[in-house]
Amino acid sequence: MWIGVGKGKGGAGCTTAALELAYAATRRRTRSGRPRRAAVLDLDPQGNATDVLEPESRRIGIKDVLTPHDPLPLRDVLLPSVWDRVLVAPADRFLANREADLTPDAVTALRRTRISGDIDGLVDDVIIDLPRDIGKISAAGLLGIRHLFITARATIWGAQGAEEMRYTAERIASRGNPELEISGYIIAAFEETPDSRRVVEEMRNQFGGKLLAPPVPRKIMVPESLESFHTPCREYGSELEPVADVYQKYYDSLLESADDSR
């Protein structure tokens, strides 16, 4: 499955969701009984997912797939990470340069890779951490995926950002990726307050059954687990299991319903 995780506003938990979905994938098996393998494509120039996964090198990365000059195939930039059965296509500061020089051919590179099945022998799931800015790099990711999760906080601005990403995804679907569907809206770092409950109800009216439940609970140790120790939430400690359980539920539901799962 090719899955994207996007956001309309910063701080929406997009990278955490991408990483936790990749980890959730490795806890399941293919139809043939083999443990699933995942690849994380870090399309965010900040490179936070790359930092967590610690690839052996950043000399090559996703920027080399999207370059207009002598691009590399995606399989050549997928590197082992410190997480079992998770490969990563690293981001670095030079990825931001692709926004200015991305050609129409480069924008469709990931879509061509998915359709060709070129990396099907390497991984079972591809999870793309989409950038916050909705530009050419984001379009390249949205053109490549079939399933999109949109992350948001339970705030007015968070709901507005989710709507912006929905609008962009629908435009991409109508203009170049008809297979793209929004698989759900993830409410990240949720805390029970009267205001947050009100926003969630408004988002439920807006997005209907696509608003995933339960929301991801806020746990102050999540940044410590991922940012400081580069460890999946489930492996960091029992206090973070509720977070891991929610992402596992999201992944499992998609795996069960997707017609492109293996």
- The per-residue pLDDT for 85 is 97
Please state the rounded mean pLDDT for residues 137-163: 95
Distance CA 164, CA 185 (A): 12
Distance CA 203, CA 9 (A): 15
DSSP 226: I
- Domains (ranges, CATH) in the chain? 2-257 (3.40.50.300)
pLDDT grade for 175, boundaries at 50, 70 and 90: very high
Please state the rounded mean pLDDT for residues 28-51: 95
Task: State what percent of residues in the chain have pLDDT above 90.
Answer: 86
Distance CA 162, CA 130 (A): 13
Distance CA 132, CA 115 (A): 25
Token output for 125 = 């799931």
Evaluate if residue 46 carries a pLDDT over 80: yes
pLDDT grade for 262, boundaries at 50, 70 and 90: confident
241: three-class secondary structure by DSSP: helix
Evaluate if residue 218 carries a pLDDT over 70: yes
- The least confident of 14-18, 188-192, 246-250 is 188-192
Taking Cα atoms as reference points, which of 152, 132, 47 lies closest to residue 94? Answer: 47
- The per-residue pLDDT for 132 is 83
- With beta carbons less than 8 A apart as the criterion, state whether 184 and 210 touch: yes
The residue that leads in pLDDT, 52 or 134, is 52
Evaluate if residue 12 carries a pLDDT over 80: no
DSSP 84: T
Distance CA 44, CA 136 (A): 12
Q: Which residues pair with 129 in a beta bridge?
A: 5, 42
Distance CA 246, CA 253 (A): 11
Q: Whole-model pTM?
A: 0.96
Helix (H) or strand (E) holding 26: helix 14-26
- The per-residue pLDDT for 131 is 92
- The least confident of 9-18, 144-153, 225-234, 252-261 is 9-18
Q: What is the Cα gyration radius of the chain?
A: 17
DSSP 215: P
DSSP string for residues in 86-153: EEEE---GGGGGHHHH--HHHHTHHHHHHHHTTTTTT-SEEEEE--SS-SHHHHHHHHH-SEEEEEE-
38: three-class secondary structure by DSSP: strand
